[in-house]
Amino acid sequence: MPEKKKKLKYKFPAEFLWGTATSSHQIEGGNENNWTEWEKGGHIADGSLSGRACNSWELYKEDIRLVKELHNNTYRFSLEWSRIEPEQGHFDHDALRRYRDLAHECRRNGIEPIVTLYHWTQPLWFARQGGWLNKQSPLWFRQYVTRVAKELGRDVTLWCTINEPLIYSYNSYFKGKWPPQARSFWQFKKVLRNLAKAHELAYFSLHDGSSDCRVGIAKNNQFFESYLNQWFNKMVVKLVSRFWNHSFLGKVRDTLDFIGLNYYFHNVVYASMRGYVVMNENKHISDMGWEIFPRGIYETLMELKRYNLPVYILENGLADARDDRRADFIREHLRYVHQAIREGVDVRGYCHWSLLDNFEWADGFEPKFGLYSVNFKTFERTPRASASVYADIAQNNGF
C-alpha cells in the first residue's frame, strides 16, 4: 500500500520531470577521444586517468536501475561522438545500437531520456583538424547528428545539442586549461561562433528526423551581483552577465524549443576603473570551495523569462563526499525553483548533477558529485543518504 500522501508545502506541476545528469566521458570508461589522449600528459590534478571511469558503458542497465530506485522519470546522458564516428564518415553500428538500448531501457522503465550530443569530448580525427576552430566543424557535427537522429529519433524526444558552450570554449581556448590549451580571445570567440552554427544545423537535422522532438542547449548561467551599489560597478555586472548568460542564447534563440539551465555559481563582482574581481561570499561551500547559494537558481531562472521558452534545469549539484550538505542543497534549490515557477517561469524539470561519482575533468576522481558513490575498483554503486531524500521528492512530486 502506498503511504498516504503527506500534505506538501512545495508541490510541483503535473508531469514535472525529475532526474539526474551524467556525461559519456565522465562515466563510460574506455573512450578514445581527445581528452583520453590529453590525460596521459599528466594534466589531471589527482594524477588519475579517466580509464574505465564508472564502467557505465557495461553497467548501463545497472545505472538505469538506480535511476528507477530514485523514482526519477527522466535521465540526462550524453553520446560519445568518438564511439559513434571513430573515423570521419564511418559510423559504428554497435555503438549506435548500444545507445539505442540505453534509450529503450529508459523507456521500458518510464524514464524520459534527455540526450546530449556534445559534452566537450571530440573524436581524434576532429581534434586533429583543429576541432571547433575549423570552419567545417559545424558541418561535421551535422553529419554526426543526422546519423544519430536516424538511429535514435524514434526513441528520443528531448535533445540537448551542446553542453555549456561558454565553459567549454573558455577553458579550452581562453584560459588554456583544457585541451587544446589555447589562450586566445579570438579563438575563444571563433569557437563560440562555430558552436552556435553547429547548434543551428543540428536543430534542423533533428527536426527533419522527427516531427515532435524538442531541441535545446545546456547553458551554464551564473548569478552575478554587484558588490557596491554604485553605477560603475553595476554597469560592469550588467555587461558581464549579458555576455556570459545571454550572448550565446541571443545568437541561437530562433532555434531553441527550450532552454536547459545549468546552475552552479554566484559571483559577487567588485569593479573599478582598473578592472574587476569576482568573489564569492563563501559562507557555505562545497568540497571544491564553491559557494552554496540557492537563491541564485531563482535569479538565473527569472532572467530567462525574457525568452518565453520552457526551461529544464539540466544540472545543479555539488561535490560533497561526506554527504552532509547535499540533502539541504537540493531542498533549498528546489524551494527557489518552486518560487520561480509561481512567478511565471515555465520550468518543466530538474536534473541533479550527478547520478554517480565520476571523472571531474581536470580534477579527476577526487570531487564526489554523486547521489551514489562509486568504488572505482569494483564499480559498485552505493546510495548516499541524500539519494533517498531526492527519491522521496521525486516520488511525491514535491516536499
**Residues with catalytic roles:** 315
- Return the residue matching grid coordinates 550524453: 78
Site size for ligand GBH, by CB under 6 A?
Answer: 15
Determine, following the binding rule CB under 6 A, whether residue 164 of this chain makes contact with ligand GBH.
yes
Residue 348, H or E segment = strand 347-352
Residue 64: alpha-carbon gap to chain centroid: 18
Distance CA 261, CA 160 (A): 11
Pairing state of beta strands 311-315 and 275-279? Answer: unpaired
User: What amino acid occupies position 25?
Assistant: H
Q: Which is nearer to ligand GBH, 288 or 309 (CB)?
A: 288
Determine, following the binding rule CB under 6 A, whether residue 56 of this chain makes contact with ligand GBH.
no
Asked, as a colleague might, if the bond just before 354 is cis with ω within 30 of 0, I would say: yes
Report the nearest approach of ligand GBH to the CB of residue 244 (Å): 12
Determine, following the binding rule CB under 6 A, whether residue 39 of this chain makes contact with ligand GBH.
no
Q: Which is nearer to ligand GBH, 33 or 220 (CB)?
A: 220
Partners of residue 115 on adjacent β-strands: 77, 159
Stretch that binds ligand GBH, among 128-136, 159-167, 335-343, 380-388 (CB under 6 A): 159-167
Residue 374, H or E segment = strand 372-374
Q: What are phi and psi of 358, to 5 degrees?
A: -155, -170
Q: Which is nearer to ligand GBH, 100 or 177 (CB)?
A: 177
For 169, half-sphere exposure in the C-beta direction (CA atoms, 13 angstrom radius) is 24
SS3 of residue 373 by DSSP: strand
Determine, following the binding rule CB under 6 A, whether residue 167 of this chain makes contact with ligand GBH.
yes
Residue from the set 31, 56, 163, 205 that interacts with ligand GBH by CB under 6 A:
163
Report the nearest approach of ligand GBH to the CB of residue 119 (Å): 6
Q: Which is nearer to ligand GBH, 172 or 397 (CB)?
A: 172
CB distance 323 to 386 below 8 Å: yes
Residue from the set 129, 362, 395, 396 that interacts with ligand GBH by CB under 6 A:
362
User: What amino acid occupies position 319?
Assistant: A
Determine, following the binding rule CB under 6 A, whether residue 360 of this chain makes contact with ligand GBH.
yes
Report the nearest approach of ligand GBH to the CB of residue 188 (Å): 16
Residue 302, H or E segment = helix 295-303
Q: Which is nearer to ligand GBH, 358 or 397 (CB)?
A: 358
Report the nearest approach of ligand GBH to the CB of residue 183 (Å): 15
Report the nearest approach of ligand GBH to the CB of residue 46 (Å): 10
Determine, following the binding rule CB under 6 A, whether residue 81 of this chain makes contact with ligand GBH.
no
Here the cell at position 34 is: 581527445
Determine, following the binding rule CB under 6 A, whether residue 320 of this chain makes contact with ligand GBH.
no
Residue 163, H or E segment = strand 158-163
Asked, as a colleague might, if the bond just before 180 is cis with ω within 30 of 0, I would say: yes
Report the nearest approach of ligand GBH to the CB of residue 180 (Å): 14
Stretch that binds ligand GBH, among 126-134, 329-337, 356-364, 388-396 (CB under 6 A): 356-364
Determine, following the binding rule CB under 6 A, whether residue 23 of this chain makes contact with ligand GBH.
yes
Residue from the set 361, 365, 372, 390 that interacts with ligand GBH by CB under 6 A:
361
Report the nearest approach of ligand GBH to the CB of residue 167 (Å): 5
Distance CA 118, CA 25 (A): 11
Here the cell at position 112 is: 524520459
Q: Which of residues 250-289 bind ligand GBH (CB under 6 A)?
A: 262, 264
CB distance 8 to 60 below 8 Å: no
In the complex, which residues of this chain contact ligand GBH (CB under 6 A)?
23, 26, 163-164, 167, 177, 220, 262, 264, 315, 353, 360-363
